[in-house]
Chain A
Amino acid sequence: MNRLKAIADGQTFESVIHQEVLDRDPVVSIRDFSLFYNRKQALYNITMPVAKGMVTALVGPSGCGKSTLLRSVNRMNDLIESVRIEGDMVLNGESIFAPSVDVIALRKRMGMVFQKPNPFPMSIFENVVYPLRIDGERDKTILMQVCEQSLRGAALWEEVKDRLSESGLSLSGGQQQRLCIARAIASDPEVLLLDEPCSALDPIATGKIEDLIDRLRGEYSILIVTHNMQQASRISDHTAFMYLGRLVEMAETSTIFTRPRLSETEDYVTGRFG
């Protein structure tokens, strides 16, 4: 507990990252990354890898900066005027924050799913192929192919294949969230960013999404924020525990949940605080 107190007091702190995580091939590696909202610092010198082809879960108490970190990976924070950053991230060997980076092209290499389903007010088909549409793709057969692939990938195809021209808003909440996942994987992203994708859904819909994430494992690299410890233990390969803008400990999920190196991590994942 005293380490967390030290963090709260603003003392420097060395994150603990287990070797088994560092041994993996990273798709994204975050390097000494800090982020400020105006003068308020939200992330402190975070260094961590996101393993290729695996599911990495970000856990931590509310307000610790999980969303901020996730949104930094595809530079969604650029949209907020007051944000300033230090450090860098690397996506498959290429810098994300270098001045010469084309943000638009960068975002096309990632898919993102938000806490609340946000299908666009257009047909299911158009929702899924939106990333291709903005690239100017017109070929019906390609669009159709991608649409089917993505919907199958998001385990939604069987449910909507007869109503592709209906509005995306006509789906149920869980279906909408899977539609958003289908949209996120339509452009075949290198990494998939999920920010609490199940928090607005009921248990059955949540189960379906979890199954889906399980199926996407291996094919996609996934970075997921979750509040739900059971969920993190069920679906993720690696888990990173954050606290007040700092990475505390990161390891294989089973390690984090059974024998973490720091007692604070154990306290958090067992629900003794947080």
Chain B
Amino acid sequence: MVWLSGGMFAIACLMIVSLLAFVLWQGLWTLWPRTYSIYGRKDGTLVGGELYAKASLEGQDTLYLRTGNYDVSNQHFAYVSSSELVEQSGWLAPDLWLVERKEWGNLYGFPKQLSWSQADPEDFVRVVHEGMRQTAKIDRELGEAKNELKRIDQHIAEARLGIRRVELAEKIDLQRAAETGSLEGLSPSARDAVSNLGLRNRQADETMVEINDRIAGLEAQRAERTVVFELPILDPLGTITADWADLRAGRLRDPTGLAELLGAAKDSSGLSFSAEPMGDGGLSEPGVEDQRLVCKVTIPGEPTRRLMIRRLEDGRVSVEAFREHSILLADMVRFFPTNRLGIFQRLGVYASRWWEFLSGDPREAGMEGGFFPAIWGTVVMTIVMSLAVMPFGVLAALYMREYAKSGWLLSVIRISINNLAGVPSIVYGVFGLSFFCYIVGGYIDGGPIKAGFEPWPSAAWFSALGGLAIVGLIAFAVSIFSGQAEARRSPLRTVLSWSAGLLWLLTLGLIVWLLVKSPHFHGFYEAQLPNPTFGKGCLLWAALTLSLLTLPVVIVATEEALSAVPNSLREGSYACGAGKWQTIHRIVLPYARPGIITGFILAMARGAGEVAPMMLVGAIPLATELPLDGEFPFLHGSRSFMHLGFQIYSLGFQSQNSEAAKPMVFTATLLLLSIVTVLNQTAIWLRASLRKRFQSSQF
């Protein structure tokens, strides 16, 4: 038995440890800058990539390479079997750059020419850095200009909304008036709305041209600066006659043939030539390096070109060019000669990538760049959720533990709450969507009709309102009376307090019913319809759904904390003449606080990691606006948001190129795991330290 249980224990430990190690390794490794090797294939083409994984099967290796250059090769990653390759260890070209771009992912290539500078290739790094600083300024100005445009659009949209509001309020059609701008026969508010729209339109007409010009100018400036790269993709140029031994030694006896191929026949005299074998030679198959040379050719007045020369029979060689590809300097985010970095430079790149990951916006539909909006969305949503769940959970537990008389009803409620904790989270998602989003949200947007209720006629509604007032008064009277009934625990008093409770419930139900059936309420956002404001998944509903989901956790933890308060303390307080509430708030709650906070943090951890309901009630893969920002009213409850857990799901399984997104998925997983772990650890630590504080020195 001891072996069986011990073995199971070991297996459980192993599974947990391997899960953690896997996520940790994958997550940490993804952002590390790797070297880029170029391999020759036996069919004469080249394939280059960062080596992500290597699998061996029956003596054959399969390499999993991140090839980059998606805009040219149409792939991010490639599987390459070692039997296709000429040599098994690739060529770590020293002057190859890795360029991270705003679009199209990474580019790997040799920088050849800068459109705005005649600098020497040795100076490229410095010059490009300088250039990037300037284009960053252009991009900032461009962003500002686009923001101005957005603001103008917003103003016009608001003015339109104003007209729509007047239309709804006065039941008139302002379509014509808005088009023609004529104010005849309109009420003052309609006149205001129409003239406001006219004003906004005129303002837009005036400034729009200027802004658009500015944007066009900036775009042009932005497009001016390009960098030409030579990618490790070969295009045949032709064949020439040359002596192989000469070429190997870096000499070219008769350059005219080559110059002709390069389209510079007139002046072949100044052509300079150098050649080197591709790869390291030593590890390659014997003789391979003698079939192929990479050479650099410079014709005066033109940038140096990189060519591949291959030995053919009868003294001829074939010449192939590395494909040229030009990109905008403004699209470059980061670049470095990836094969030449020292360990500290590599660490620097690693740190800066992590920084971008944590604080930057996503690029390439989230496959590159940062996760900041997702992190921010998760944090804001979790905080709103805690604010919602804390008072509810704590007060409910307080009532159940301190006020309610224990009985079968309380036990049933307690058991139901415990069971609630086991309900699959997607169920909460469905509930949130159908109740919060469609019913409550629809009600807020467009009143009872939008929420799917048939309003009553006005007269019936008002008589029901009168009924409500009467029931409310009776409930009030009964509860006052039952509070004053003298005899302790007399049957009369029991009956009275029960009926008071029932009457209050009835009152509450009536209030809800009246709200739902009101013919006089048309929603707060009627003018925006049919575009939903709150009638869709958004931050507020997501937070409320999650607070429902975490409510049992908070209630159970709080109840536990309350029942751990020694009764002797309560008695001591009562004996001092303290009332119930005084005892609770001066003795019971402070003593139970660590337990309550612990439950609370556990609820946050549970909520932060929950994905299934998020998919239904408001998380989206790419949000342009943050749910909490510097714009009034700062917290935007009606906005959809990005969520870390949902991001993992959508990147890994929903994006067009989930293969390419896989590394990012691991990094995001690591992040989510660390957030949840940190929260849980805080809870454990808090519990331990506060418990020590309270129970340290009993004797």
Contacts and interface: CB of A to CB of B under 8 A. Distances in A.
A108 interface: yes
A102 to B, nearest CB: 10
A130 interface: yes
Contacts of B586: 120, 130, 133-134
Given A114-B572, A170-B696, A170-B697, A121 B591 contact: yes
Contact of A79 (B489, B571, B576, B587): B571
Contacts of A255: none
A74 interface: yes
A134 B591 CA distance: 17
Contact of B575 (A81, A112, A133, A167): A112
Interface string A173-191: 1000000100110010000
From B488, B566, B582, B697, residue with most partner A Cβ within 10 Å: B697
B590 interface: yes
Main secondary structure of the interface of A (DSSP, over half): mixed
A104 interface: yes
A206 to B, nearest CB: 14
A227 interface: no
Query: What range describes how many residues of B lie at the interface?
Result: 20 to 34
Contacts of A76: 571, 574-575
Contacts of B571: 76, 79, 114, 118
B576 A131 contact: yes
Contact of A172 (B486, B694, B699): B699
B698 A131 contact: no
B572 A180 contact: yes
A122 B697 contact: no
A143 B555 CA distance: 37
A108 B577 contact: yes
A105 B405 CA distance: 24
B569 interface: yes
Nearest to A85: B488
B568 A118 contact: yes
Contacts of A187: 576-577
A173 B569 contact: no
Interface residues of A, number: 34
Given A81-B405, A134-B586, A169-B696, A107 B568 contact: no
Given A99-B486, A121-B590, A116 B568 contact: yes
Contact of B577 (A81, A104, A122, A180): A104
B577 A79 contact: no
A273 to B, nearest CB: 31
Contact of B576 (A81, A134, A173): A134
Q: Which of A81, A114, A120, A167 is packed against the most chain B CB atoms within 10 Å?
A: A120
Interface string A88-117: 000000000001000011011011101010
Contacts of A107: 574-577
Interface string B477-499: 00000000010110000000000
A114 B405 CA distance: 25
B569 A118 contact: yes
Contacts of B486: 99
Given A107-B577, A120-B573, A134 B568 contact: no
Given A76-B574, A134-B586, A118 B699 contact: no
B584 to A, nearest CB: 12
B288 interface: no
A120 B587 contact: yes
A87 B569 CA distance: 29
Interface in A54-75: 74
Contacts of B576: 107-108, 111, 130-131, 134, 183-184, 187
Contact of B697 (A105, A116, A169): A169
Contacts of B405: 81
B579 interface: yes
A111 B572 CA distance: 10
A114 B568 contact: yes
Nearest to A172: B699
Contact of B566 (A110, A118, A171): A118
Point out which of A76, A110, A130, A170 has the most chain B C-beta atoms below 10 A from its C-beta: A130
Contacts of A170: 696-697
Contacts of B577: 104-105, 107-108, 131, 134-135, 187
Contacts of A114: 568, 571-572, 575
A154 to B, nearest CB: 15
Contact of A74 (B575, B579, B590, B591): B575
Interface in A143-200: 167, 169-173, 180, 183-184, 187
Nearest to B582: A134
B150 to A, nearest CB: 55
A146 to B, nearest CB: 13
Contacts of A135: 577
A118 B590 contact: no
B578 interface: yes
Given A134-B579, A172-B699, A173-B699, 6 more contacts: A105-B577, A118-B571, A120-B586, A121-B590, A121-B694, A170-B696
Interface of B: 405, 486, 488-489, 566, 568-569, 571-579, 582, 586-587, 590-591, 693-699
Interface of A: 74, 76, 79, 81, 84, 99, 104-105, 107-108, 110-112, 114, 116, 118, 120-122, 130-131, 133-135, 167, 169-173, 180, 183-184, 187
